[in-house]
A and B are shown apart, each in its own frame.
Chain A
Amino acid sequence: MSVIRLLLREIQHRQLSFVLGVVTIVAAVALFVAILTMCDASQRETIRLMRNLGFNVLILPKGTNMADFWSEDFAEQEMPEEYVYRLAESDTISIRHLVARLQKKIRWRDRHVLLTGILPEVHMEQLPSKAPMGVAIPRGSVYVGFELAQSLSIGVGDTIELGDKPFVVGKCLGEKGSKDDIRIYGHLHDVQEVLNRPGRINEIEALSCQCEGKRLPQIRADIARALPGTQVTEYKSIAVARAEQRRMVESYAAFIIPVVVLVSAIWIGLLTLGNVRQRRVEIGILRAMGVGSGRIAALFLGKAVLIGVLGAALGFVLGTALAIRFGPQVFPLTANKITPMFNLLSWTVIGAPLLCALASYLPTLVAVSQDPAAVLREE
C-alpha cells in the first residue's frame, strides 16, 4: 500500500468532492487564461486603434484666437480652400482624412444658427483610400440640427431658404446635447455661396495623421511648411479616452483575477477541511497503526496538488478555447493574432497546484494535529 494508491482510491470513492475541486480550479484557470489571452488581444487591438487613430489635428487660420475659437466653435479668420488640396498633395505628412469646413454664426428665422459647410473628404493621393469618417452632403441639400428642426417644425423633404437659395432638408439630426443641435450643415460650396465667401474655409480637420515617430511640434512644423499662414492644434480627447479605456481593461483584469484566485483558494480550503472532517476516524486509525504526520499530510496535500494539476491543464484548454472562440468577435481587428499563450500553461500548471496546496495547508495541519485517541475513544 502506498500513499498514492490510498489517495487514488479515496478520490475514486469520493468523486464528487474531487470533481468539485477540479471544477473550481478549471473555472478559475479558464477565466485567468481567457482574460489574459483577451487582454493581450485587447492591448494589440488598442495599439492598432491608436496607430490608426494617429493624431487628430485641427488646422486653423494663423492668428486665430483659441479662446474665442473654443467658446464659439469656429474661427473668425479664414484661409483658402486650396490649402486642403495642397495638404493632400504633401509628401511629408500622411493624413488619412482631410475635411475642410467653413463655419459662421448667422441669424436665421430670428435665432442664432451655426451654418457649417463641409467639403466631402479629400484623400491623400499616396495613401490607400479608406472609408470616409465624416459626412458627404450632396449639393442643394442640408442637414438640420435637432433643436432647430424641433423648434421650427422642420422635417425631412422640406425646403428651406438660406440667403435666398432654396435647400432640401436631407436629414434632421438626432439630439447631441451640444452646439451641433443648432447647426445647419451643407456642402462647403453651397455654404460659401450663401455666406458669399467663395473659395474660403476656416478650418481643416486632419484625422488619423500618420506621422511615424513624430510628435505634435514636428507635425506643426511640417504643416506650417506646407501651409504657411495656419496654426495647428491637437484633439487629445480621443487618444486619452483610448488610453483610459485600455487602463480600465487592465485594471479590471487586475481586480478580477485576484478575486477569482482568492475565492477558489477559499473554496479549495473548505473542500479540504470537509474532507479532513469526513476522514477523522480514518486518520485516527492510520495514526494508531503508526502512520506518521508526513504521510497523513501527503494524503491531503497530494490530493490538492492533483486537483491543481488537473484543473490547470483542463482550465488552460477551456480558457484558450473560449478566448479563441469569442475573442475574434470582441477584437475583430487583431482576430488572427488571438492564439494560445503556451507560456500561461507552465504558469498555471505550477501556480494552480501551489495555490491548492497553500489553500489546503491549514486543513492539513488540522488533520495531522488532531488527537487520534480522542477520535477513537469517541467512536
Chain B
Amino acid sequence: MPDPEDCHLAQLVNEPIPVEKYTRWLGEPGCGAVLLFCGNVRDTNRGQSVVRIDYHAHESMARKQLTRITASLVEAGAHRALAIHRLGTLEVGETSILLGVSLAHRRDGFGLLEQGMERVKADVPIWKHEQYQDGTVAWIEGS
C-alpha cells in the first residue's frame, strides 16, 4: 500500500494553476476515473458586474485545512486527491480552485468532489474581495 501522505496534495499558489500537470499527478494505473472540478471567476455576482477578484487567506491555516480535506477524501476511498487554491488577483474566467480525485471507477468520485467542495466552502479561511465594473469593491463573506 502507498503511504497515504503520498496520495494527497494541497497547495496555495500565486500563479495560474497548471491543470494538466495536476491531472497527470492524479493518474495511476489502477484508476479508471480521474475527476476534476475547476472553480472559475464568474463575471457577475449578486447582480453586480465583476471584473476581477482578489483572493486573500489565512495562509497557514488554509493550507492545513486543504490538507485535512484531501486526506479525508483519500480515507473515503479516493486513490489520490488534490486541492489547489490560487491566491492574489484573478481576472474573469481564471481558475481559482482545482479539486481532483482519482479512483478505480467513476461512480463514487462525483460524491467525493462535492463533499470536498462543500468543506472548502465552509472551512477553508480564504476570502474573495470583488472588484466591480462601476469601480466599487466588496468583501464576500459566506457563499
A, B from the same assembly: no
Using CB atoms and an 8 Å cutoff, list the residues of chain B in contact with chain A: none
Give the B-binding residues of A (Cβ under 8 A): none
